[in-house]
A and B are shown apart, each in its own frame.
Chain A
Amino acid sequence: MPAPIRLRELIRTIRTARTQAEEREMIQKECAAIRSSFREEDNTYRCRNVAKLLYMHMLGYPAHFGQLECLKLIASQKFTDKRIGYLGAMLLLDERQDVHLLMTNCIKNDLNHSTQYVQGLALCTLGCMGSSEMCRDLAGEVEKLLKTSNSYLRKKAALCAVHVIRKVPELMEMFLPATKNLLNEKNHGVLHTSVVLLTEMCERSPDMLAHFRKVSLVPQLVRILKNLIMSGYSPEHDVSGISDPFLQVRILRLLRILGRNDDDSSEAMNDILAQVATNTETSKNVGNAILYETVLTIMDIKSESGLRVLAINILGRFLLNNDKNIRYVALTSLLKTVQTDHNAVQRHRSTIVDCLKDLDVSIKRRAMELSFALVNGNNVRGMMKELLYFLDSCEPEFKADCASGIFLAAEKYAPSKRWHIDTIMRVLTTAGSYVRDDAVPNLIQLITNSVEMHAYTVQRLYKAILGDYSQQPLVQVASWCIGEYGDLLVSGQCEEEEPIQVTEDEVLDILESVLISNMSASVTRGYALTAIMKLSTRFTCTVNRIKKVVSIYGSSIDVELQQRAVEYNALFKKYDHMRPALLERMPVMEKVTTNGPAEIVHTNGETETAVLETKPPPSGLQPANQANDLLDLLGGSDITPVIPTAPTREPASAGGELLDLLGDLNLTGSPVFAPAPQIAQPPFLLDGLTSQPLFNDISAGIPSITAYNKNGLKIDFTFERSNTNPSVTVITIQASNSTELDMTDFVFQAAVPKTFQLQLLSPSSSVIPAFNSGTITQVIKVLNPQKQQLRMRIKLTYNHKGSAMQDLAEVNNFPPQSWQ
């Protein structure tokens, strides 16, 4: 068999291939030759063959049949063989192939080889692709090499240790003693890798972190850093005039980890950080890299405020730099710190706003986010102007975010209602189709709130869609407004602006064209139809036209439209007397949750006849989960659940939850949606928000009963009736524990039949001490307007003797005086 071709030849040949197919053919031919050569166990040319195989692998062709050959090369004594063998191992093998374990022994021998280069190769391979089993086996060897005096090997060993720790974190302890001396090295390479090793250890394990803090690692690092900065020109590690920037950056990073959340360490490094920040040259990228790392460190540790201001000023200077990389990096960091150091960042606001005009997309995005974070009451007008301009010119992928951001900011800081509405209009007209869907109901709610601006708003909206009705959110809002305030539009009253002369027919024209247009989405058409319907009560001369339009859509293909049209038709025909009341002006909507954007009840401006129920708000709703459970247990048949109250219940929050629960309930007819659910209940129960029952005149003499007595837990009921309100019974329960162990986490729940109403006040405690040495008391108020016999089901949960206990019982033995 002729000698296999040399690597160079192969490469040259393959490069002459003109098509993919030709190349594949050559490669297949060569692979076949290599395979037969491998079969012959040819030692001399194995190295060459594997090298060629690796090249072909790099081009993307399969080379797994060479894996075993790599192992044979590794086992050889020749250095060149080993080198290619290890390279092959790193490229072809990974921990998922079982073959790789065969390498372990070879690597172990090589780690103890006499030549440092062989040892180095072994360390390198282990560090790149060692699997957890290999790492476990060889960790000891690596640790030995970590202590050697040969700096070439020490460097490699340190990084290899990093890899071992990553794979097998439990082995971290093993490397701890070796780290003691690592930082005493002069050799920068060793220092660098040691710092990396220490960093990895500190990040992985908080114990290590604490240990290193104690071992006063910080002063050591500070000293090294100082030497680096102060020392003169060192040709070996110099990069553009700064000595070993990589090491500086790594040390700064380690300092950051050590100083995080730790006052002492942070204090120890304050000086050096200030020094680095002021002395580093910023003309080249290298200096900036160091400064950037310094800034990150300052921000993360507990630094004093002067230092933080210094850091932000550095970032501000970065923003003015010509190099866009640096600007990008600065914007990213400022975004992270804007929450904590708001004032300092504000100073650079104008520079940030300038970055909105940058060419690079990622810079623009960062600048936009940062700008939104910086908007406050003082600068809102100026910032909005810039942001609106940005909205005009930015890429489509930003428009949705930008629009939402503008809405949010406008809502929080609007200086006047008119400005607010103008801003919204501007956004709708420039980026109308990118506005998020949930913005429409928000906007509508906003518009209803600014009562005095209704005429102005509807006029502007009308003008906006007159020319162009393709932007759906804009058209939706506009239709809704026209439907509501169309009378203001045609009457020509507008204080803020020159009133326009519009006739009813013109208004109907525009709404009809929205309905007909192909560009309108189904939702938009719904809005338009409802708007037309509402105008039937607000307009005087065009009612017939409206009737006609509505009846046409009664046979529309779109089911939604059809339904609406049919219902409105019915309104005209049979329920004409109800029509004015139904289509009345909408009340001002309360925004219950001011935190999140999308909690608003979705009101589509619909006045459907079917859904005008004012659901009795409270009794169907249980904000507590306990009550839900009870309901599930009891089959939910004739029981109303309990609403346990805490003394400091705030009505507003209750209303919020209520609103969530109601979800998509249409609140059209219930303008009195005041938050507290208890309001619909007889007011006396509100008095019970204190834990003392307020009854001064209690009729005595109602016998108390033992409601429950099992497993050492006894619950007694004592009764009180009020003379002022005879339907109220106040029950005080007392729970006692006759066993020898305390009962903890005791919770008492009760349910009564539907005709009753129940209120549980908070218990005195949740622990019943043993041996009857104390009791838990809790007050229950029962409202019994129909004077029916009192029945109650109770559920008890508590922890006793280490296990959770739960029990259900029915109480039927209420004395007649308690409810008659």
Chain B
Amino acid sequence: MVALRVKKMRREKNRAGKTRLAKWYMQFDDDEKQKLIEEVHAVVTVRDAKHTNFVEFRNFKIIYRRYAGLYFCICVDVTDNNLAYLEAIHNFVEVLNEYFHNVCELDLVFNFYKVYTVVDEMFLAGEIRETSQTKVLKQLLMLQSLE
């Protein structure tokens, strides 16, 4: 997430390193993106429960949280509020849960375009857009009805 200019990206990856979803709010080449993904993966997966959920990465920080086999990572500026973004991650996951009715990893794989829609409903231009879960779910259902 933006968290103020500079870089922003958010990603869900599973333990084996496969990226299930990657949303970038800054411009990078494809190979740069790949490299970044690998680096973040390397940094995040070695940390276990006794570490904090924040990691300094290059000149930003990564805020991540692990849910079952998936890591949800947000990369933000150093000046941003870590704890708030942790909450944002949780908010997002709860919405996914509601939308897909007890979401699991396969849901994210097979419906990736829908997941992107959820992301776009909640985040835009790298910032948090809508925080009310009920509202987001309502929008998503409406969009779905248009299909």
Contact = CB atoms under 8 A, between A and B. Distances in A.
B137 to A, nearest CB: 11
Contacts of A7: 110
A485 B109 CA distance: 75
Interface string A5-20: 0011001000100000
A96 B131 contact: no
Nearest to A235: B134
Interface in A316-356: 324-329
Given A236-B132, A237-B132, A246-B88, A328 B54 contact: yes
A532 interface: no
B146 A117 contact: yes
A193 B84 contact: no
B101 interface: no
Interface string A521-563: 0000000000000000000000000000000000000000000
Interface residues of A, number: 69
Interface in A337-394: 359-363
Contact of A293 (B5, B21, B81): B81
Contacts of A285: 83, 86-87
A249 B76 CA distance: 16
A688 B4 CA distance: 59
Contacts of A721: none
B10 to A, nearest CB: 12
Contacts of A96: 27, 29
Nearest to B109: A11
A8 B142 CA distance: 22
Given A83-B117, A96-B27, A325 B128 contact: no
Contacts of A129: 27
A412 B125 CA distance: 50
A72 interface: no
B56 A288 contact: no
Given A152-B139, A325-B52, A188 B131 contact: yes
A679 interface: no
A366 to B, nearest CB: 10
Contacts of B100: none
B129 interface: yes
Interface stretch (A53-61, A448-456, A764-772): A53-61
B131 A249 contact: no
B43 to A, nearest CB: 12
B13 to A, nearest CB: 12
Contact of A60 (B34, B83, B110, B147): B34
Contact of B125 (A128, A188, A326): A128
A244 interface: yes
B112 interface: yes
A362 to B, nearest CB: 6
Interface string A57-92: 011101000000000000000011001100100100
Nearest to A293: B81
B131 A247 contact: yes
B124 A84 contact: no
Given A54-B113, A162-B127, A289-B87, A79 B53 contact: no
B58 interface: no
Contacts of B116: 87, 90
A286 B81 CA distance: 11
A568 B22 CA distance: 69
A61 to B, nearest CB: 10
Contacts of B25: 128
A127 interface: yes
Given A58-B112, A196-B127, A94 B27 contact: yes
A163 interface: yes
B112 A236 contact: no
A90 B53 CA distance: 29
A509 interface: no
Given A124-B124, A239-B87, A296-B81, A83 B52 contact: no
Contacts of B87: 239, 245-246, 285-286, 289
A192 interface: yes
A51 B19 CA distance: 17
A22 interface: no
Nearest to B139: A152
Contacts of B54: 325, 328-329, 362
Contact of A8 (B21, B22, B110): B110
A127 B147 contact: no
Interface in B101-147: 109-110, 112-113, 116-117, 120, 124-132, 134-135, 139, 142-143, 146-147
A193 B146 contact: no
Given A96-B27, A360-B51, A159 B125 contact: yes
Given A11-B110, A94-B27, A117-B142, A58 B22 contact: yes
Contacts of B146: 79-80, 117
Nearest to B123: A159
A246 B128 contact: yes
B113 A83 contact: yes
B53 A325 contact: yes
A399 interface: no
Contact of A203 (B4, B18, B56, B82): B4
A329 B112 contact: no
A460 interface: no
Contact of A325 (B18, B86, B88): B86
A398 to B, nearest CB: 15
A758 B140 CA distance: 86
Interface string A763-798: 000000000000000000000000000000000000
Given A8-B110, A79-B146, A239-B91, A246 B131 contact: yes
B56 A362 contact: yes
Given A236-B135, A246-B88, A249-B81, 20 more contacts: A11-B109, A62-B30, A79-B147, A94-B27, A124-B124, A128-B124, A128-B125, A155-B130, A159-B124, A159-B125, A160-B124, A189-B130, A192-B131, A196-B128, A244-B132, A247-B131, A289-B84, A292-B83, A324-B52, A328-B52
Interface of B: 4-5, 18-22, 25, 27, 29-30, 34, 50-56, 81-84, 86-88, 91, 109-110, 112-113, 116-117, 120, 124-132, 134-135, 139, 142-143, 146-147
27 contacts: A11-B109, A11-B110, A54-B112, A54-B113, A58-B21, A80-B146, A80-B147, A87-B116, A128-B120, A128-B124, A152-B139, A160-B125, A166-B5, A189-B130, A192-B129, A192-B130, A196-B127, A203-B4, A236-B135, A237-B131, A239-B87, A246-B84, A246-B87, A285-B83, A289-B81, A292-B83, A328-B54
| Top 3 A-B residue pairs of the complex, sorted by shortest distance between their CB atoms | A289-B83, A163-B125, A159-B124
